[in-house]
Structure 1
Amino acid sequence: MVDPLRDPDDPELLDPYRARELAGLVEAARLASGAVRYGKVGRVGVAQVVVNRDDPLPGGNHACAVYGSSAEVAGTLMRLERTFADVGRAEAVLYASPTTVAEIEGIADDTGWHAVEESLAVVHRGAVTRSPSVRPARDVDLLDIAALLVDDLGVDVDGPRLLRHLGQRLDDPRCAFVVTDDGDRLGGFASGFGERGVGLVEHVVVRPARRRRGLGGALVGGVVAALRDAGAVLVASHVAEGGAGERFAEACGFEVCYPVTAYARRVDELLD
């Protein structure tokens, strides 16, 4: 029997109308998360955008929900280049989900944007599990969290700036941080964000030497529980399509709902 909530052409994904509705909720939470503490959410052309000079991570500065005519979308992509350059970003980033026009690939190609990542939006459907090895993060954990995050992302981030940003998030009641200890250091951490009933699992990082011991699943359970306790009735995340990340998410009780493509455009030449 065909599930009426699923896409008949790809039963692993939601029906397009349901997917668009869900994507709107998730993207609103992602925009709000990117704005912690001094960022701004608004519109540029036919896109929704968050910019945050204080956030050195990719999620703090991005566009989504680009919806309009081909001319409007093309014009918006060109305007986004200046928008991100004006806040000091060397790259403009757009996440295209069911809230973005289906023709985005061709329009992006014509305007110099390139698809750089394919991911999946997943929603937690499993039971919430809590592990005694997982605890809420404290200020003294920030150095370890920053080091784990930089190593996992493989990006060059200004250390003091990242620490300041993580401290701002730790102080924000909408943000959730949980950790697991490994002697006198952290074995891993997970972080999330929740607002208006929607929770996001944003980072799950386990120290390489401690992987394949169940710590990742325990951290996911801990951050999902923290988001639920804070009022989230829906908990979602993004994972890379295929491979270990998708399998891990499914093992943690998440179900695939819709695809997301990240597009990027270098804007170095526009920086002052």
Structure 2
Amino acid sequence: MGSAAGRLTGKSALVTGAGSGIGAATAEVFAREGAKVLVVDVDKSKASVTVDRIREEGGVAEPFAADVSDEDQVAGAVEFAVERFGGVDVLQNYASERSLVAEDVFVAEADLSVWLGQLRVDLLGCVLTAKHVLPHMVRAGGGSITNASSLAAWLSLEGRPAYATAKAGVIGLSKSLAVEYGKQGIRCNVLAPGHIVSPATEKMFSAAQTEVLLDHVATPRLGRPDDVAMAALFLASPESSFINGQVLVVDGGMSAYAPMVPSFRRLAAQ
């Protein structure tokens, strides 16, 4: 499975939310580039499917079931990675609470449990994984952490306020980690995907809504998990060694233009 580039050869990586979608794509890309990967997901059967694909290509990976909002389970995942692979050089956080999408409604109508659930997984999950990985990275003399945020952190879709708030918090957390640990050789950056077509997003958006999203990107197509995975590879690799505390947006240009542009395009076509 190792590529000619081998940008992560000799490294070990822990990827959360890696049972499907962007997390799975990233775990596979990391393995192709030479990393030993701990594939973490709340559903071990999904994690095992990702691991099987990696192993079929000759890569090294292990599945691990953990809820990132549970500190004991997070600690167990990190210790397993250290015992199995000798350390954690790369931490990639994608775990997100998708089961609350339908209930994540306008603030005055939302149940507090929805907010707590979203914040525990999307934000506190990043806190807990960093808390348990950082001592190992400090002892090793460095490492790379990348946390997943979203365009929703600063561009509202009118809805999902708990998700948007959690993802905004991820950016603040990541900048704090970058400053606190940068002098010890540990970088922390953020990936902010736009609309990425995956099994999870296909359940969230109708075909008509997907057409609207396509109208609002500055590329001929919508994003795919591999688009984000390749950006994650860059941030995890030595090629980004002087990039720290930054937000890399992977959105096909969705956030690059004024909101009336698609309407102007339609008027011009008429």
The normalised TM-score by structure 2 is 0.31
Structure with the bigger percentage of strand: 1
Structure with the bigger percentage of helix: 2
